[in-house]
A and B are shown apart, each in its own frame.
Chain A
Amino acid sequence: MGHPPAFDGPVIAVSDLRMRYGDKDVLTGLDLEIEPGGVTALLGPNGAGKTTTIEILEGFRARSGGAVAVLGTDPEHGDERWRAGLGVVLQEWRDNGKWRVRELLAHFGEYYKPYSQSWDADELLQMVGLEAQAAQRVQTLSGGQRRRLDVALGIIGRPALLFLDEPTTGFDPHARREFHELIHRLTDLDGTTILLTTHDLDEAEKLAERILILAGGRIIADGSPDKLARAAATTAEVKWLDNSGTLQVHATDDATEFVRKLLATDGGTVTDLEVHRASLEDAYLTLVAAFEAGQAEAAVDTFKEATA
């Protein structure tokens, strides 16, 4: 559905991207390449730098270092034509609340006219399931309806690349499912590459063909949901309480051998021994928990061991 890209190569190419706020490093050498087509999820705990990354790609934020090309152009120097090739759906948008839904779509479609054949407002309404709300004021829409309108505004210019930043945050299960169905419909129309950020593994597995896990300022895992799940399952997690009663956790490829050695050398102090075949969910939840406890570096190492 997008216009043919005026360049060859990846839709997004990022190397050694760095971002620093004051003395806090948010991105520490992020490498990323996304080929045209499909849905890619950028998954990571809150505060991992997902929004920062996506804002740099959208051209809304200046980076501290590294090379970035989006649709073949550095976002910091993107012109209006480049802008027309992008669709942006943000976490929380409450703009133009007094406008009526159809009126807003029809008017915003006009901005794209010099660049592409923008969507007809009625077709779009049908696609995102808002025909019944066409004459309603935007501020009276529910959260889920509002986000579907945001998606309609995001794709209105038939973009080559669509950004969705945490699109289902704050949704109830029903709104969430409807939204997921909408994303599936979008992927049926070819020509648009979708990059979505989420902190929810389940959502990433449902929607994306490729998952990139962002933590500690870098991409620490990259692959299809299947591949990541298989990688995580080859390792097992061994937990026990040591002689001071502290919980110890160790990830290993060979749990039997590890436990044999542990019990041979502990002098009888190990209690509450547990061996757990890890799933991707386990590995990810451990990562998130450690992040929230402020142990970012250690968490990344553990996760890498688990999915290596």
Chain B
Amino acid sequence: MNTTLHAYSTGWKRGLIESRISLTTISDLMGFIMPTAISIAVLFFMRGADFEGAPVSLGSMNMPSLIGMNVVFGGLMSIIGTLSMDRTNGTLLRAKSMPGGMTGYLVGHVVATALYVLATVAVMLAAGLILFDGLEFDTPDRWLLFLAVVLMGIVTTLPLGAVLGALINNPKNMGLVMLPVMGSVAISGIFYPLAALPGWLQTIGQAFPIYWMGLGMRHAMLPDTMSAVEVGGSWRTLMMFGVLAAWAILALALAPRLLRRMARRESGSAVAARRAEMQRQWG
């Protein structure tokens, strides 16, 4: 039996089990439904608002952007959150104590998170198409583009989440990562076209993957005339895939090294120390 292959297939099974567990756990389910429901509701009330005479409402315009944002958010946050929690409760150490356990653990979480992101995307896509007018999603080339951008987004954000999660060795430092991610949302054209922001903010916004995920989703779902409100008046398809791929390559190069370092530092007393510190802080 090939041991590496076996670890991967066990990890795949772990991912499926984790997903099933999440679907039958109320708190996990609420964590999945609430943010999605709230963001769709907010957009629903923006149906009446128009943006400078554009052919679709601000709500319809933001719907695709929101899906793009959720791919990045779902991918980043669930991996970061899981890695930091599992270091405190010993799940990671347990994985380390089994043959092929670390590989299985990581593969499992990649699978579970990818499924989670895909489920979020499917729900939001369905809600978007039903609730919002003016979206164009009726030809195979749009479906294909949509799928390609979503998969590209998953490939980019999961390793990026692993890099950030491996760097945070303590759940209390989550804020250090949350803040910049939130900040990047504000200047990523998710809720308002980037072209309406000052030039220097546009430049910063375009450095982050979240802008390009939003752009790709708008490209796939909005009428082509809507590209007029984008930076440069174009969907910049190649550039969009190019920037996401660059982030993916960077993250994939860094992630294994950082994850190995994280695993190496794991021990019973490290887990106990982290937990003791949490207890001191939260009482």
Contacts and interface: CB of A to CB of B under 8 A. Distances in A.
Interface in B3-22: 3, 6-7, 10, 13-14, 17, 21
A157 B97 CA distance: 11
B61 interface: no
A24 interface: no
Interface string A73-97: 0000000110110101011111111
A90 B90 contact: yes
B90 A157 contact: no
Interface stretch (B73-81, B180-188, B267-275): B267-275
A91 B267 CA distance: 11
B17, B96, B97 pick with most chain A CB within 10 angstroms? B97
> From DSSP, what is the main secondary structure of chain B's interface residues?
helix
The contact size tier of chain B is 20 to 34
A111 B13 CA distance: 11
B268 A83 contact: no
A114 B93 contact: no
Contact of B7 (A92, A97, A107, A111): A111
A153 interface: yes
Contacts of A60: 93, 96, 266-268
Interface stretch (A5-13, A51-59, A184-192, A206-214): A51-59
A55 B99 contact: no
A153 B90 CA distance: 13
B262 to A, nearest CB: 13
Contacts, number: 89
B98 A83 contact: yes
A165 B6 CA distance: 29
B104 interface: yes
Interface of B: 1-3, 6-7, 10, 13-14, 17, 21, 25, 28, 86, 89-94, 96-101, 104, 266-269, 271-272, 275
29 contacts: A51-B269, A55-B269, A60-B93, A60-B266, A61-B269, A80-B3, A83-B99, A83-B101, A84-B99, A88-B97, A90-B271, A91-B268, A92-B272, A92-B275, A95-B89, A95-B93, A98-B21, A98-B28, A99-B17, A107-B10, A107-B13, A110-B10, A111-B10, A111-B100, A111-B101, A112-B98, A113-B6, A115-B3, A115-B99
Interface of A: 51-52, 55, 58, 60-61, 80-81, 83-84, 86, 88, 90-99, 103, 107-108, 110-115, 153, 157, 165
